[in-house]
Amino acid sequence: MSRTFVGMPAFPLAARTAVADAQLRRNLGHATATIRAKRAAVVSEVQDWEALRARGAEVKDRVLANLDTYLLELEQRLTEAGATVHWARDADEANAIVVTIAGERTAADREAGRAPEVVKVKSMATQEIGLNEALEAAGIRAWETDLAELIVQLGDDLPSHILVPAIHRNRAEVRDIFRREMGRAGRPAPEDLTDEPARLAEAARLHLREKFLRAKVAVSGANFAVAETGTLVVVESEGNGRMCLTLPDTLITVVGIEKLVPTWEDLAVFLQLLPRSSTGERMNPYTSMWTGVHAREGVGDGEPVGDGPQDVHVVLVDNGRTDVLADVVGRQALRCIRCSACLNVCPVYERVGGHAYGSVYPGPIGAVLGPMMRGRRGALEQSLPYASTLCGACFDACPVRIEIPELLVHLRTQVVEHHRAPGSRGLPKPEALAMRAGAWTFADAGRYEKAQNASTLAGRLGDRLLHGRGTVGRMPGPLSAWSDARDAPVPPKQTFRQWWARTHTDTPADPRPDTHEGGVP
């Protein structure tokens, strides 16, 4: 069984392990810096880039405000074009639909003693629902055909980036995976395989070609779905998607319900925004579009005419998206076009990689989408909104202007409220208890003054023990979480009030507020 993200630890624990991996940090640093530089170069060529971002955000907000109408329009157009539309409320329903169709279309392979199989275009939606694992449980092998996805699959690994799932691997590691694993899954890698990118790509093409020619069923996602025509769009860089979308007889496309754009004119906006933001290119090398069944019966002889799938199924997946839509603040996360620009500029992601986020959606947008789509009750989901410095670089890079820092603060508030709610099973966090103690102290001038005086005792004692070094070492108990990562200063040896009383003899030594009852002067 393939590895999954199920059971991943909370972000701080996973991040601590990742940061300790020096090779991982080097791989991530090199890859993200390269992509950032390419993106900056092509974005600078567009004089009205900010206006284009605003247009993209406006189109997506219009879709979200009228999602029911556009979905019904898409279904009608797809049906008119010969496709079969399926609706899935969650991952289980979506997987059941795909497994049933794939099982029926590959029954001949099973009867002939061959292992049933499907080829796949890179798809975040199918990863989200765990489709490969569901197919494997049904005895159907799903072959990833994207180069980076192939690396992850052969290495029994997990994706760590939206655009480049194997970003955490360097060329030497990829070569070793190909040499070791390709022969077990089909055509073996050449014996003299080196880590040159061209040789690695050639080995992948030779390995995958036999699968393309043999497969009767393909599974894809869709970057966009055009409501007015029922057209589905996939953009990619290697041509593997084009092979999957034209050679097999049956095509099953799994689409998140938020992937809609109303018109072809709206699609043109995103075909400018997406490649520049994701791969740092002016346009994607391969942009494939299809509307329903491509090969139709000819006149007279009844033979199919043209290339392309003769049996098209589209699975429209909710899987938590309507819950996100119901959140007035959080629904802007559904604008996301999965470009990964926010990952490439995030200082946290660059140091910990994607696995620490415990989801197919890593980085800043993953820290938002994960909790919003899966719920906020698990330890991992509650930790993800804090996996950010809130520096704002993600918003600046986002081609559809998602206010990711705002959403992270919004989710942090929900985490706090969950632990604060009466009857909640969530226990108050240490910082919440500390804040309550602080509020109680600051609410009364007498308590506040006593706390200040106590701190000066700690300051005088600390100054003697630390011989004037000025910072505390490892603090006791839960405070060690702070001092282990920061230099904690030694408390002052006297308060401001004590200094004032000592230096101004005409001022009472123990002033108390007489104008702000219960307050602090």
Could you give the CA distance from residue 206 to residue 253 in angstroms, rounded to a whole number?
25
**Per mean pLDDT, which range of 39-53, 180-194, 331-345, 465-479 is the poorest?**
465-479
Query: What value does the mean pLDDT take over residues 291-302?
Result: 61
Burial 409-431 (b: 16+ CB within 10 A, else e): ebbbebbbeeeeeeeeeeeeeee
pLDDT value, residue 515: 43
Pair (319, 448) in one structural domain: no
From 288, 323, 358, the end of a domain falls on 323
| Residue 420 within any structural domain of the chain | no
- pLDDT at 511 exceeding the cut of 60: no
Average pLDDT, the chain: 89
Instruction: Indicate if 45 and 176 belong to the same structural domain.
Output: yes
CA pair distance 254, 87, nearest whole angstrom: 10
Residue-range definition of the domain harbouring residue 461: 444-503
Q: What is the mean pLDDT of residues 300-318?
A: 77
Which CATH number is 130's domain given?
A: 3.40.50.10420
Q: Which residues contact 366 (CB under 8 A, 6 or more apart)?
A: 354, 357, 359, 384
Closest of 410, 435, 110, 86 to residue 254, by C-alpha: 86
At residue 506 the predicted structure's pLDDT band, cuts being 50, 70 and 90, is: low
Average of per-residue pLDDT across 270-290: 94
Amino acid, single-letter form, for residue 3: R
For residue 135, name the pLDDT band (cuts at 50, 70, 90): very high
- Would 44 be classed as within a structural domain? yes
Instruction: Report whether pLDDT(316) > 80.
Output: yes
In a domain, 27, yes or no: yes
Lowest mean pLDDT among 142-146, 396-400, 443-447: 443-447
- The pTM assigned to this predicted structure is 0.84
- Residue 511 located in a structural domain: no
| More confident call, 499 vs 228 | 228
| pLDDT score for 520 | 38
* Residue 501 pLDDT exceeds 80: yes
429 belongs to a structural domain = no
Q: How many residues does the chain have?
A: 521
Does residue 402 form part of some domain?
Answer: no
Closest CA to 470 of 454, 442, 491: 491
Top-confidence residue, 292 or 404: 404
- Distance (Å) of CA 428 to CA 170, 419, 421, 423, 495: 43, 5, 10, 12, 31
**Res. 356: pLDDT tops 70:** yes
pLDDT at residue 193, as a whole number: 96
Q: What is the average pLDDT across 404-428? A: 82
Output the six-digit token pair for 125.
Answer: 């939606």
Same domain, yes or no, for 448 and 317? Answer: no
Residue percentage of the chain with pLDDT more than 90? 70
426 in a domain, yes or no? Answer: no
Q: Is residue 230 part of a domain?
A: yes
288 pairs with which residues across the strands?
A: 234
- Shared-domain flag, residues 309 and 452: no
Q: What separation in angstroms does the CA of 169 have from each of 152, 166, 195, 295, 301?
A: 9, 6, 12, 40, 53
Determine contact, residues 392/405, Cβ cutoff 8 Å.
yes
Which pLDDT score, from 0 to 100, does residue 516 have? 42
Count structural domains, the chain: 2
Question: Does pLDDT of 300 surpass 50?
Answer: no
Stretch (H or E) spanning 204: helix 197-214
